[in-house]
Every structure is written in C-alpha cells, then in structure tokens.
Structure 1
Amino acid sequence: MVIALGVLCIGMFAVAIWLRQQNRGLEKQLVAAGERIHELESDLDAALRPPPPSSSAERAVRRVLRTASKVREHGITGLIQSTLEDVQTWASADERADILNMAASDGTVTLFFSDIESSTQLNEQLGDATWVKVLAAHDRVLRGRIAQYRGQVVKTAGDGFMVAFRDTEAACRAALDIQRDLPRDPALRRHGRIQVRIGIHTGQVVARDGDYFGRNVAMAARVADLAHGGEVLGSDAVREALDEDAAVELAEMSSVELRGLGGEHVVWQILPPA
C-alpha cells in the first residue's frame, strides 16, 4: 500500500513537471505569435500609409512643364478641357479644405472665371520678361480683391483664374472692383490697357480634392468665354441668387448657346450700381 502510494505521488509529480513544461512552451509560442502579429500589423500600416508628398517646388515644375503650351493655346477654355492635374493650383491641405468649405451643404457655390483678353498676342508683343511682370501685377490686383470679398482661388493657369465664392453678390462686387482697379494699376498702365474677361455662375458642383467638377463648372467657364475685355457677365442663376437690394446692376443680353451645353441660356451683363 505504501509502495503504491509512493508510485502514485511520483507519477503526479512527473505529470505536474510535464504540464509546467507544456505551459512554458505554450507561453513562448503565444509571445512569438504576438510579436509576429505586431510585425504584420506594422507592415500593413506601412503599406497602407500614403507616400510623403513631393515638395511644392517639384509639383510646380512638373505641372508647369505639362501645361505651359496648353494654356498658351487654349486660354480660359483650357481650364475645362485640360485634365485636373494639368491645371490645378498647388494648394496645401489647408487650402484645399478652405476651397471645399466654400460650397453650401447642398453643393451650391458661385464660380468666377477670368482671363486676359488676347493674352497670347500681348505676350508676343511685350516679350516674355515684360509679360511675367504684367502677370505679377495682374495677379496682385485679382488676389487682393478676391481676398477682400472672401473668395478662394481654386486654381490658376497662366493668366486664367477659377475662384469660388460663398456669396453671389460678393463675387459680382469683386469682379467689378477688379475691372475698376486694373486700368489704374501703375505697373499695368505703362504697358497699355490690360483687359480681363470675367464670367460668373452659381450652381451645384461636385467637390473633390480641393477642386470642383460638373456641368456648372463648365457653365461658368463658357459664360467667361462670351465676355469681352473689361466685361463681367453672369448667368441667369446669378440673377436669381442676387437679392433685390444687391449693390450691382444687371443688363439682360440676348439668349445665347453655350458650346457643349444644350439649349439657350440667358446671360446678363453685371454693372456697377447707377
């Protein structure tokens, strides 16, 4: 009996030692598995993380090289016909957020397109060195008034601007002030009269990556195409969006067809208040 009990104790002790060894082996396997899972998660995170953006200078050089000839050839129309990558402004993440915030909750925004009339001929006449100075003065005037009326430059291409405004009247007043300021600017006056065409339209757009897309973007650009130098034209949607006491005057023009957009469209000349 005593011998049997001793054998039993020895057996239980052996089982206990075996179980402890198994537990230690299992613990090591769990630790190794945890470390492997951590490595896999790190690898997955690295794979999914977007690559660091290139510098603004690198992006600018690439886009300038791609767009220079296209902008010279197409002017304001190139803003719509070119790809987004060809014409987009090199905006920071904060600037892109500001652009997207210009639209109302339903996607409605007022868009302003402008360009210098006969810019290719002017460039040829003045030469590249002088033309660069003209563009700098032109940009300074436009950006000053755009900022005053809380607009946001969406993108630029050569002498063309695409600007978003939350308020339709603000867009109209900014355009009128720009047309008044340009002939008075000393840096521009010495090179003759620099005339700018401006078109404005209000409507719903699709916002993505700091830019706007859709039929109403094309509409705004087409309205600008109709304008002559020194003119500000607006679509019928602009007239409807303006309050009755808005500090601008509207003169109706004849209905027109807009290339690529079906039907006829009423266009208004936007003028300073009488």
Structure 2
Amino acid sequence: MTELLAVAVAVLGAGLALTVVLLLRARSELSAERKRSAALEADLDAALRPRPAATATERAVRRVVETATRVREHGFAGLLGRSLDDLASWAADERTEIANIAASDGTVTLLFSDIEGSTELNHRLGDAAWVRLLAAHDTVVRSRVERYRGQVVKTAGDGFMVAFRDAEAACRAALGVQRDLRRSLDPKLRPVRVRIGIHTGTVVSRDGDYFGRNVAMAARVADKAVGGEVLASAAVVEALDDDAAVELVKAADVELRGLPGRHELFRVERKDAR
C-alpha cells in the first residue's frame, strides 16, 4: 500500500511539474506573439505615416495643387472672400503674429482631447493616484502626437490642444491614442476614457498659442464626443485625401455652444475597422 501511494505521489508530482513547464512555455510564446504583433503594428503605422514634402520643389508643387483645387471648388471670389474675413479678424488685434501659420493655405488641423468624467475619477482615486494616472495618460498622448508630427500647443489638467499640418495625421494620431489606451497593460490607465474632437481651419498664432473661431470650433466638437470616441467636423472631411487611411462616418447634426447654426459631425474610424 505504501509503495502504491509513493508511486501515485510521484506520478502526481511529475504531472504537476509537466503542467508548470507547459504553462511557462505557453506564457513565453504568448509574450513573444504580443511583441511580434506590436512590432508589425508599429511597422504598419510607420509605413502609412503621413510624410511631409521632402524638398522645396515638392512643397511648391503641393501648394500649387492645393490652391488650384480650392479655386476650382470655391472660385476666386470665394477664396478671396474667406481670406478677407480672416484678415479682418486678425487685424482686430494689433499684437497678432501670423508668421507661424502651419500650412501653406493658412490652415491647421486642431485636436482637442480630455478625460471623460475626470473630476469624479480624481475624487474616486485620490490626488496621488490621479497624478500618476495623468502622467501615464500624457505619455500615451505625447507618443502618438510625436509619431504623427503634431505639436502640443498647450495642456490644461487632463486636456490637450494639439496642432497638425494635415487632417489625416490628426485623425490617425487620435485613433492611435484610443487604441493605445484600450490595449494598455498599465493598470493606472484602465479607468481612462478620452474624448477627442478634430477640426481644420485658419487660426491666429501668437506666442506659441493659437486663437480664433476655428479653435473654439475644435473645442466644441470635442465637447460632443463621448469617452473612447473621436469626432470630426465637416471641414476635416473636405481636407482628407481620397486615399486616406481613415474613414469619417456621419454621426449627427448638432448645435455647438457659442457657434451659430447646426453643424455636421463625423465619427473617425480606421478604414479596415468595418
């Protein structure tokens, strides 16, 4: 009887050891697969990343094409009228500096983001944990902004205002932020849901900051988003190229606080998400 018990114990011990070995091997293989998947995704993002004009000649050609397109769509009168409206608003402030306008046609694409329910989340976590959460959140946002060559204009608490040279870069950066937050293994980021709004238009640049009605528009678009969502204005739809790697799906016609009329908003999605 004792011998049978010893044999049974030995068999169970061997089985347990084999199970532990198999479990460790499976964990190692899963970790390797995750790393390969992350590397492939990074390579894909890099391959599709918007590329600025490499030479002065290429930049000049792009400016000619953009101007010709706007003239064809709006006519000279429409193009001039819009420029005069903007110049009139700029002239109202003698301290205005226009030298840092981002794009050749005087437009930038602005992205506003903030954490949904941040006040309640701060109260629930406490100040110390909230500060650590903000640091982790900021790292995610700044990483995507840098990848898509954006410029952080300013931050306020849990919110970001970011400028991009083109609309696709802003949309892809926003989707990247949402994806990184959903997939993050950092426990501090699990309760974070960020809402993002994007708008393209002319702005006034002064002392490293941006001003004007289009800044207000971008902020109001972000106000309409819910956590985990990226919304964009109709101007972003117009600014995107036909072969852009993102898709804008009609979401709603809404009123925006402080801005007259109703405005079309679109949900930003990856083209391969459907």
Bin of the TM-score, shorter chain as denominator length: 0.5 to 0.7
Structure 2 gap segments, 5+ residues each: 1-96
Which whole-Å deviations, capped at 9, do the CAs of 1:127-170 have from their partners, x for residues lacking one? 00000010000000000000000000000000000000001100
Structure 1 gap segments, 5+ residues each: 1-96
**Is contact 1:100–1:210 with CA below 8 Å preserved after alignment?**
no
Instruction: Select the structure of larger CA radius of gyration.
Output: 1
Corresponding residue number in structure 2 for 1:127: 126
Query: What pairs with 1:173-252 in structure 2 (closer than 5 Å)?
Result: 173-187=172-186, 189-190=187-188, 192-252=190-250
In structure 1, give the amino acid aligned to 2:183. R
How far did residue 227 of structure 1 move?
0.1
In structure 1, how many angstroms separate the alpha carbons of the residues matched to 2:99 and 2:117?
Answer: 32
In structure 2, give the amino acid aligned to 1:241. A
Query: What pairs with 1:43-62 in structure 2 (closer than 5 Å)?
Result: none
In structure 2, give the amino acid aligned to 1:245. D
How far did residue 273 of structure 1 move?
1.4
In structure 2, give the amino acid aligned to 1:254. A
Which whole-Å deviations, capped at 9, do the CAs of 1:3-54 have from their partners, x for residues lacking one? xxxxxxxxxxxxxxxxxxxxxxxxxxxxxxxxxxxxxxxxxxxxxxxxxxxx
Corresponding residue number in structure 1 for 2:162: 163
Which whole-Å deviations, capped at 9, do the CAs of 1:175-209 have from their partners, x for residues lacking one? 0010000122233x356331000000000011111
How far did residue 102 of structure 1 move?
5.9
In structure 2, give the amino acid aligned to 1:172. C
Identity of aligned residues (%): 69
**Is contact 2:101–2:203 with CA below 8 Å preserved after alignment?**
no
In structure 2, how many angstroms separate the alpha carbons of the residues matched to 1:148 and 1:136?
Answer: 18
In structure 1, give the amino acid aligned to 2:226. H
In structure 2, how many angstroms separate the alpha carbons of the residues matched to 1:245 and 1:102?
Answer: 26
2:264 aligned to which of 238, 263, 266 = 266
SS class of match (1:255) = strand
How many residues align structurally? 176
In structure 1, how many angstroms separate the alpha carbons of the residues matched to 2:193 and 2:169?
Answer: 21
RMSD: 1.7
**Is contact 2:193–2:227 with CA below 8 Å preserved after alignment?**
yes
**Is contact 1:102–1:166 with CA below 8 Å preserved after alignment?**
no
In structure 2, give the amino acid aligned to 1:234. A
Corresponding residue number in structure 1 for 2:252: 254
In structure 2, how many angstroms separate the alpha carbons of the residues matched to 1:121 and 1:128?
Answer: 12
The verdict on how the C-alpha distance between 1:261 and 1:127 changes in structure 2, with shifts beyond 3 A counting, is same
SS class of match (1:229) = coil
Corresponding residue number in structure 2 for 1:154: 153
TM, length-normalised to structure 2: 0.62
In structure 2, how many angstroms separate the alpha carbons of the residues matched to 1:184 and 1:168?
Answer: 24
SS class of match (2:271) = coil
SS class of match (1:254) = strand
In structure 2, give the amino acid aligned to 1:118. G
**Is contact 1:113–1:198 with CA below 8 Å preserved after alignment?**
yes
SS class of match (1:230) = coil
In structure 2, give the amino acid aligned to 1:262. P
In structure 2, how many angstroms separate the alpha carbons of the residues matched to 1:261 and 1:247?
Answer: 30
In structure 2, give the amino acid aligned to 1:185. S
Which whole-Å deviations, capped at 9, do the CAs of 1:206-225 have from their partners, x for residues lacking one? 11111111100000000000
**Is contact 2:133–2:188 with CA below 8 Å preserved after alignment?**
no
